[in-house]
């Protein structure tokens, strides 16, 4: 760290070269003193926490954070020490601080603060602080930025005071009636103490407002932290899983896409990523992007696979009594007759009416029968619903369908082999059941009914 500090101090304009050597020596002395005090404080805290946590064998998160904040305080002291050294040297040589001095000193402080943030991040990682490493690094960046901003404000006050009082002194020497004898170098001596205080307060207030740390930037840093962005990403993934398992694939796609976009944007703009060497940065960004997109594409494909619309087969429409639960039969597309597994004809299917032929329900249209192929085995099952006065609307995998029969809360349906979500919509009630055909046991299936 001392070598990096010396390189920063040696990168000086020509007008400050004469102060460079003495500034480096003075700061190295302060660096050794403050670093030693910080290490001793951290060691004492580690020993204290180790004695408390001897039974559990590790430190808690708040204890790790307290140790990290002690190290951050040491870095803040170093920034302030560097500021005081350069202010003292420039004032002893020139007698005052100019605006050019403000820019130079602030740049030195900002460069040193950025270097200290990197050192702190490495120190936190080497101490195995776990989940608090990134939080402490962000806190270190905010606190070091605040220390630099405070130094800039103090320097601006010094420069503005010099300009103000230098102009007043020039006015006195040129014949200002406030001081006719010209012996005083400050025109403000002719003002009353109250007027002098009001003048100083006014100038200081203007300078403080001009150089105060931007509030919006600090708020945005907190909002755009990993803790907030990560929570939103987790909520988006949870929403995608919820909609995927409830039969709303498009909503699930939206949640998956939004969560992925937010995660990738946060990672690409993360300060720790941007500080990496160019090759390593691109490797991390591209590699994580490809891995993330691969997982999301697989999740979306699986989402549509389990929510695909399956033809419900050709359902009876003549109002005849349904066959016993679990019996299997086939439909011959050419003859329109059902046959038992032994191949004996059973009964002809009723010809669909014109309204049935044009029905949007796959099980009631000629197009659906064509989609099912010449010989499709249909399995019949019974669904137990609520005995309501109104007749419900039936949906199979969110596609409107018609049962073979329905009476007094008992519905009979025919579907090919597979897994389905069957839903019955009453005016004020929703019943649904998950069915896997063929059934393991030949029994009616109770539906779960809830009020809307």
pLDDT score recorded for residue 51:
76
Is the pLDDT at 421 greater than 90? The verdict is yes
pLDDT score recorded for residue 326:
38
Distance CA(24)–CA(7), nearest Å, equals 10
pLDDT score recorded for residue 289:
93
Is the pLDDT at 15 greater than 60? The verdict is yes
Is the pLDDT at 348 greater than 90? The verdict is no
Average pLDDT of 28-52?
Answer: 85
Average pLDDT of 54-82?
Answer: 80
pTM of the predicted model, to two decimals?
A: 0.38
Q: Which of 133-137, 382-386, 417-421 has the lowest mean pLDDT?
A: 133-137
pLDDT score recorded for residue 170:
61
Pair of tokens at residue 82: 């560097």
Average pLDDT of 211-236?
Answer: 75
- Confidence band (pLDDT; 50, 70, 90) for 205? low
pLDDT digits (tens, 9 = 90+) for 95-104: 888 888 888 8
Q: Which of 40-54, 69-83, 255-269, 398-412 has the lowest mean pLDDT?
A: 40-54
pLDDT score recorded for residue 129:
61
Is the pLDDT at 261 greater than 90? The verdict is yes
Is the pLDDT at 381 greater than 80? The verdict is yes
pLDDT digits (tens, 9 = 90+) for 264-286: 998 888 877 777 788 888 888 89
């Amino acid at each position: 760290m001392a070598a990096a500090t010396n390189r920063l101090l040696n990168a000086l304009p020509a007008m400050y070269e004469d102060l460079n050597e003495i500034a480096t020596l003075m700061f190295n002395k302060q660096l050794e003193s403050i670093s030693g005090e910080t290490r001793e404080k951290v060691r004492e805290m580690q020993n204290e926490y180790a004695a408390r946590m001897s039974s559990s064998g590790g430190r808690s998160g708040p204890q790790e954070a307290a140790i990290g904040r002690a190290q951050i305080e040491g870095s803040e002291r170093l920034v302030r020490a560097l500021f005081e050294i350069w202010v003292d040297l420039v004032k002893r040589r020139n007698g005052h601080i100019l605006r050019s001095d403000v820019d130079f000193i602030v740049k030195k402080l900002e460069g040193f603060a950025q270097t200290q943030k990197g050192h702190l991040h490495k120190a936190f990682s080497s101490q195995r602080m776990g989940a608090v490493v990134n939080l402490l690094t962000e806190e270190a960046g905010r606190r070091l930025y605040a220390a630099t901003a405070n130094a800039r404000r103090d320097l601006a006050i010094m420069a503005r005071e010099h300009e103000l009082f230098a102009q007043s002194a020039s006015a006195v020497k040129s014949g200002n009636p406030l001081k006719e004898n010209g012996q005083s170098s400050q025109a403000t001596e002719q003002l009353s103490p109250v007027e002098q205080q009001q003048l100083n307060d006014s100038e200081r207030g203007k300078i403080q407002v001009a150089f105060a740390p931007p509030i919006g930037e600090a708020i945005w840093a907190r909002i755009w932290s990993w803790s907030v962005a990560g929570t939103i990403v987790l909520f988006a993934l949870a929403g995608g899983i919820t909609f995927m398992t409830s039969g709303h694939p498009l909503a699930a796609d939206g949640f998956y896409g939004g969560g992925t976009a937010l995660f990738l944007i946060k990672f690409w703009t993360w300060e720790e990523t941007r500080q990496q060497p160019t090759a390593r940065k691109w490797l991390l960004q591209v590699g994580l992007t490809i891995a993330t997109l691969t997982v999301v594409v697989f999740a979306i494909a699986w989402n549509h696979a389990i929510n695909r619309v399956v033809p419900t087969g050709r359902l009876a429409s003549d109002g005849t009594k349904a066959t016993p639960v679990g019996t299997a039969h086939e439909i011959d597309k050419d003859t329109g007759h059902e046959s038992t597994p032994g191949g004996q004809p059973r009964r002809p299917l009723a010809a669909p009416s014109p309204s049935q032929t044009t029905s949007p329900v796959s099980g009631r249209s000629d197009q659906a029968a064509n989609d099912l192929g010449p010989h499709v085995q249909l399995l019949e099952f019974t669904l137990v619903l609520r005995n309501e006065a109104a007749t419900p609307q039936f949906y199979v995998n969110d596609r409107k369908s018609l049962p073979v029969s329905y009476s007094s809360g008992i519905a009979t349906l025919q579907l090919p082999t597979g897994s389905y979500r069957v839903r019955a919509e009453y005016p004020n009630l929703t019943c649904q059941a998950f069915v896997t055909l063929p059934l393991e046991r030949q029994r009616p299936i109770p539906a779960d009914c809830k009020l809307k």
